[in-house]
Amino acid sequence: MMKLGVVMDPIGSINIKKDSTFAMLLEAQQREYELYYIEQPAMYLDGQQARAKVHALKVDDNPTKWFELAIAKDIALAELDVILMRKDPPFNMDYIYSTYLLEAAEQEGVLVVNKPRSLRDCNEKLFALQFPNCIPPTRVTSSAAQLKNFIEEHEDTILKPLDGMGGESIFRVKKDDVNLNVIIETLTNKGKRLIMAQDFIPEIIKGDKRILLIDGEPIPYALARIPSKGETRGNLAAGGHAEGLELSGHDLWICQQVGPRLREMGLLFVGLDVIGDYLTEINVTSPTCIRELDTLYDLNISATLMDAIEKLKQ
C-alpha cells in the first residue's frame, strides 16, 4: 500500500471546492493510499535523518466536515513512499529550509513532488526567462533608472515582485504615470530589491490562462482567469472570474518548449500562466485549478497525477 504524506497549509482553513491539494488527497484515498498530514513546522532533522510529527489523515468531499486527523506520531519521512510539497508561498527562508529537509528524505528513497532542488532553483517569475521565445519583453532589476528606461521604451508595462502570488503587488504602469516614482520605490525598497518589468499584454482582457502540466504533458483545457471591470489582474484572489477553454495551437507550442525541461528537473505538477501568446510565469510550488477544470470538463486531473507518481515509483 502506498504511503503518501502531504505538506500543506492548515487543512482546516482550505476551501475544498477550489483546493487542488484536496483533490489530490481524495484521489489518493480512493486508491487506498495511506495518507499523512504534515505541517511545515512539524518537520525536522535528527542528524542526517528527516523526521516529522505526522497525522494519519482521512478526507471526505463534505463541506462541513472534510477531514479527520489521528493523534500525531513522530516518524522518519523515509517511512513514506511519496511526499507532496504543497505549501503555498511566500517562498521565504522557512520554505527553503523545508526543501533541504525534504531533500534529505528524497536521498533516502522518498519521491518528493515537486523535486526539492528544483523548487529552490525555479523562481516562479524568473524561471520563465529561460524560454526567451515564449515570453514578452522583460527586465529584472532594482534600478529605478533601468525600470524607467524600460517603461519609456514600452510605454505600457507591468511591474511585479519576484516572490508574490495571487496578484499581490502587481502594478500596471504607463510612462506618464504620476505615481511612477513611488511605485518603483515601494516595489524595489528604494533600490534594494529586484523586481520584474514586463510589456503589458492587452489580451489580458480575455484572461490569464492557467495551463496544467503533468510530467511535462499538458491537460488539454485551461482555466482563463478574467479580470473584473477596472482591473488588469486576472487572479481569482484579486477578484477575477474563471472560464474554461481548450488549449490553442500556440498554447500547445509553449507547452512543447517548456515540458521537456520540467520533466528533466523533476517538476511533475506545474502550472503555466499564459496571456495571449506569451508565457508569463511557471508555477512550481502549489499550482491550483484542478477542481475547477475537473468540474468544467468532467476530468480527473488528480488521477493523471497519481498515475504518473505510480509510474515513477515502479
Tens digits of residue pLDDT in 231-268: 665 555 556 788 999 999 999 999 999 999 999 999 99
Is residue 309 situated within a structural domain? Answer: no
Residue with cell 542528524: 47
Can you give the pTM of this predicted structure? 0.94
Is residue 148 situated within a structural domain? Answer: yes
CA distance 90 to 87: 9
> For 118-175, how does the pLDDT look when each residue is reduced to its tens digit (9 = 90+)?
999 999 999 999 999 999 999 999 999 999 999 999 999 999 999 877 777 899 999 8
Classify burial at 228, counting beta carbons within 10 Å of its beta carbon; exposed 0-12, middle 13-18, buried 19 or more: exposed
Q: 101 with 187, same domain?
A: no
Q: What is the DSSP letter of 280?
A: E
* CATH code of 228's domain: 3.30.470.20
The kind and range of the H/E element at 186 are helix 180-188
Give the structural domain span for 53: 3-121
**86 in catalytic set:** no
Q: Please tell me which residue in 51, 87, 115, 225 is annotated as part of the active site.
A: 225
The kind and range of the H/E element at 75 are strand 73-76
Q: 91 with 58, same domain?
A: yes
pLDDT band at 230 (very low <50, low <70, confident <90, very high): low
Q: 27 with 98, same domain?
A: yes
> For 186-229, how does the pLDDT look when each residue is reduced to its tens digit (9 = 90+)?
999 999 999 999 999 999 999 999 999 999 999 999 999 998 77
Classify burial at 91, counting beta carbons within 10 Å of its beta carbon; exposed 0-12, middle 13-18, buried 19 or more: buried
Residue 241 sits at φ, ψ, to 5 deg, of -120, 160
Q: Please tell me which residue in 124, 163, 273, 292 is annotated as part of the active site.
A: 273
Q: Please tell me which residue in 233, 235, 291, 292 is annotated as part of the active site.
A: 233
**18 in catalytic set:** no
How long a stretch of residues is the chain?
314
Note the maximum CA span of the chain: 62
Residue 127 sits at φ, ψ, to 5 deg, of -60, -35
Q: Give me the pLDDT at residue 73, please.
A: 98
* CATH code of 112's domain: 3.40.50.20
Q: 240 with 181, same domain?
A: no
Reading the block at residue 230, the C-alpha cell is 477596472
Q: Give me the pLDDT at residue 227, please.
A: 82
Q: 193 with 212, same domain?
A: no
**139 in catalytic set:** no
Q: 225 with 212, same domain?
A: yes
Q: 225 with 174, same domain?
A: no
Per the structure, the count of domains in the chain is: 3
Residue 58 sits at φ, ψ, to 5 deg, of -125, 145
Q: How many CB atoms lie within 10 A of CB 159?
A: 23
